[in-house]
Amino acid sequence: MVIKFLSCLSIFIIFLQCTLISAQQATPPAPPGPTNITAILEKAGQFTILIRLLKASQLADQIDTQLNNSNQGMTIFAPPDNAFSGLQSGTLNSLSDQQKVQLLQFHVLPTFLSMSQFQTVSNPVRTQAGDTGPGEFPLNVITSGNSQVNISTGVNNATVANAIYTDGQLAVYQVDNVLQPLALFGAPVPASAPSPVTSTPKKSPVADTPTSGNEPASPDASGAILLAINGLVATAGIVFLAGIWL
């Protein structure tokens, strides 16, 4: 009797285990969590400065929202901490908040690009910071025969080291330099020199110069001389008449 009970109990336990296994197999796998760019970079390591900038500018939230609410792909070039350390001292502090956002957006392409797609991309490439026109934050992709991908900004160059993350919609590539856009780090255009101001030279006053005895007398002086001569003649005439009379 006991043996029969144990046999039935064993059969029941085996049946229960099979039922549980079947139920587990029928349950679909949980969908992957929403894309989180900072979590991707944190898992990769050595991107603390980039993560801090993405959070401070709220660009991380914008990237996550765009990826999780649209089918639009995205490619991100991620400089590690040693790339930021290679910048000239005070570079980041010299940028305004808006310029920091533009610098980060310059590292983001609004399309998904696999490593093989870099070979056929058309230059200049538009970034999230602007457009493809001069001064609008474009960059150029340069590939070589050994599948090496280089990025040219017009100020500096960077090499794509490896893929940190890719899922068909988002691609994150590590680059060895911070991409410096020409619009922020290019040499300033020298200001044109003001045209010289031409001033009319002032006429110097005519200095009174002494006249020599040989120079002709002025009209006023001639008149005075003539009056003096006439006076002498008249005086001489009076004296002559007086002498005759006496």
| DSSP symbols for 100-150 | HHHHHHTTEESS---TGGGGGPPSSBP-TTS-SSTTS--BEEEE-TTS-EE
- The model's pTM is 0.65
Choice between 84 and 236, residue whose per-residue pLDDT is larger: 84
Identity of residue 77: F
Strand partners, 159: 150
Predicted pLDDT at 3: 56
Three-state DSSP class for 75?
strand
Judged by average pLDDT, the poorest of 7-21, 135-149, 228-242 is 228-242
Judged by average pLDDT, the poorest of 93-102, 147-156, 220-229 is 220-229
Assess whether pLDDT exceeds 70 at residue 160: yes
> 180: closest CA among 229, 137, 121?
137
Domains of the chain: 37-185 (2.30.180.10)
Strand partners, 141: 151
